[in-house]
Amino acid sequence: MITGATSGIGLATAKALSAAHARVVFAVRNTEKGAAVAAALPGETTVKALDLADLGSVHRFADEWSEPIDVLINNAGVSVPTLERTRDGFEMQFGTNHLGPFALTNLLLPHVTRRVVSLSSQAERMAKLNLDDLNWERTPYNESRAYAMSKLANILFTAELQRRLIAAGSAVTTAAAHPGFVATNMTGSTTGLAQLLTRLVAQAPEAGALPVLLAATGDIPGDSFTGPERLLHMRGGAELIGRSKQAKDADLAARLWDASEAMTGVRFPAGQLPIPTGEVSA
């Protein structure tokens, strides 16, 4: 299951998994577009409506889902230049990139059998997580800072989710993936120096999908962070990479989890998790 799989890294990931004979579920806002791109793939596909900027949509999606999910890939994300709000009143980047996937993952966990993957970024190294103003109600809005904060939240979520899964006795594992510098719809509107760097350095979505595929299917430890191999982990191949000191802060991860539960009203479903008895990948 891949969120935001109609373009960019999500679509490249879907194409690779479909070519490997996986059934791919497109969890997307635009189901008409999703159906068109899914129809071009060789394997079995399903298209379902999901808007991560609307918790009502997230709940409807989860309520209607009843099948096992081998791997859930939280791929969808946004970056917006001005302060916008989700349907529930959250700052758009934090709401779409973290709170939506947070709620979706916890609601779907009883169906997940193998792994949860979240797309993050090395932008997390530049983030400052203000737990007193996660919704940007008092802090002057800045697109880059808001994006970096949401990407740090993705890694902290991955770590705390793994801790909770282990404590619950589940064999499901987590991973975060940094796709590198990729030319997508999010980078296509850049100008000036950023546009020049995109033209010279950015890699294709197919290359950016490699760390995601490693995170989703590789024989890697729980709470792994994957990224490109070259150019300071900005392009080429896929390998395990490091993370910032704050991304390793277990207390910060736990506090963010508590805040996320309070904001979304969704909690970790410890008592509902299936405990696999067969062999699973670590």
The residues carrying an active-site annotation are: 147
Quick one: residue 233, left, alpha or beta (phi over 0 = left, psi -120 to 50 = alpha)?
Answer: left
| Interatomic CA distance for residues 216 and 214, integer angstroms | 5
CA dihedral for 214, 57, 104, 146, sign (positive or negative): positive
